[in-house]
Amino acid sequence: MKSPSFAALCLGLLPLGSVSPTTVSAQTEAAKAPAVDAYAQSIIKRASEYLADAKGVGFTAEIWEEVPVENGPVLQSTRTVEVNLRRPDRLRAEIRSARIARTLLYNGKSLTVHDALAGCYGTINTPATIDETLDAAADMGIEFPLEDVLMSKPFGDGASKATAGQYLGVEEVLGKRCHHLAFRNESFDWQAWVDEGPLPVLRKAVLHFTKEEGKPALTALFSNWRMGSNLPLSAYEFTPPPGTHKIEIIAIKEEETKTPETK
Amino acid sequence: MKLSLHRSTILSALGIFAFGLIPAKADRHRSVNRNVNINRNVSRNVNVNRHVHRDVDIDIHHRYHHGGYYRGGGFAAGAAAGLVTGAVIGAAVAAPPRGYTTVYYGSRPYAYYGGTYYQPGSSGYVVVAPPVGIIVPVLPPGCIPSVIDGVTYYGLNGLYYQPVMVGGVVQYRTVVL
């Protein structure tokens, strides 16, 4: 059962959608109000700055991602990501699932992608910072998981470009009390759960890709935050395990992401 | 199924709070937002947008390649690989096997399944020889590795594949040895 306030809110919202003359002033009032709630904005900004200020950061994320399937149910894939970074120029992400064992290592000069299951790795030269390297890697079709958390301005751009945003109160995420925030951007909706305690870390994030068919969702649960932790620099260097082959990294071509033509 | 029920329950509850309100406001501000995004440089900085989208694309790509449990042929959980290995070039089929992958050479699509390549024919599909340099997500079953000058190649029926990394994922390119 939902609380009475729920129903009251519903009723309160109804006039917004109607066009009766009595609601004109309410609509004008709503139009003047900022689309992005200031409190929601301030919480996400604080979380972003807290993350940006840490010179060393580590965390674990469990990622669930929906995949719409033709003639089938929406599937969900799962992977775990272990991230360590040192600002501004060291980054390590280990991605694991039953069928993925991939490590991305950036040492300030180059990025190595190691696929342990295939026993192969490839290396590309990269720019001098994490931000630039994320872009350079993306241009090659290589994506770091949860990049928005890794940037020097974590999810700050997304928040500042939001067209709508709401503060939704306190909720628990795996036993931690969190501020629940929701934002709408041009091509995706996103929600964030930011720890209510003195350390405003992200505990959960959900994205819905509203421009994609089926509006698939990506959910990430964050744990084991290690703010200020610094792995030794050697942890960001790649040493090929015996029997590992070096292979070429090829950029993804446009055609490969196109829908096949039908003849 | 269970998941979607669960989700819709949560979202319908949430919807009253959040998504009942947000769409109305978003509509009002859509034009503003669009103006911002027209500028390429600006939109490049919208990291949530750009990166997450690509992340999803790549990972879907990745799962297709490693999972092999669904693809253009529709939902094909558990489709056995290798059923059509050894199909004769020029043979006509009604459709590629369920669970095939669409691979491209330039802008030309091929349906790929278990080491066999298909292209649309006069009626249905025809088994064709792959072009040299086409990249496929998984090796055909039964490939035999051989090392030449320190490079590992995988061979089957006179066709050789070399591992390359595309989108951060290991895939296989046909080569001439």
> Which residue among B36, B51, B169 places its CB closest to the CB of A138?
B51
CB A73, CB A66: distance < 8 Å? no
Residue A142: predicted pLDDT:
86
Residue B149: predicted pLDDT:
84
pLDDT in tens, B118-127: 999 888 999 9
Could you give the CA distance from residue A219 to residue B173 in angstroms, rounded to a whole number?
A: 34
Residue A33: predicted pLDDT:
57
B154: closest CA among B133, B177, B134?
A: B177
Q: Report angle CA B121, B63, A129 to the nearest 5 degrees.
A: 120
Specify burial of residue A87 (Cβ count, 10 A radius: 0-12, 13-18, 19+). middle
Structural tokens at position A183: 């934002």
Residue of A nearest to B162 (CA): A247
Q: Tell whether B41 is within 8 A of chain A (Cβ).
A: no
Terminal-to-terminal C-alpha distance of chain A: 54
Residue A12: predicted pLDDT:
38
Residue of B nearest to A144 (CA): B55
Could you give the CA distance from residue A182 to residue B26 in angstroms, rounded to a whole number?
A: 13
Which residues of chain A have a CB within 8 Å of the CB of B25?
A: 30, 35, 163-164, 184
Alpha-carbon distance B70 to nearest alpha carbon in chain A (angstroms): 7
> Which residue among B1, B74, B166 places its CB closest to the CB of A252?
B166
Alpha-carbon distance B88 to nearest alpha carbon in chain A (angstroms): 22
Structural tokens at position A253: 């071509």
Is 60 exceeded by the pLDDT of residue B41?
no
Could you give the CA distance from residue B130 to residue B112 in angstroms, rounded to a whole number?
A: 9
Contact A77 B52 (CB under 8 A): no
> Which residue among B18, B26, B163 places its CB closest to the CB of A168?
B18
Residue A31: predicted pLDDT:
56
Residue bearing the bigger pLDDT, B14 or A18 = A18
Contact B66 A148 (CB under 8 A): no
**CA distances to A139, A259, B45, B109, B163 from B103, in Å:** 20, 10, 31, 6, 15
Q: Tell whether B48 is within 8 A of chain A (Cβ).
A: yes
Q: What is the mean pLDDT of chain B?
A: 60
- Report mean pLDDT in 10-residue bins for chain A, 263 residues: 40 40 52 79 94 95 84 82 96 91 96 94 96 89 86 80 94 97 91 96 94 88 93 96 92 52 37
Q: Which residue has the tokens 């620099």?
A: A233
Residue A67: predicted pLDDT:
77
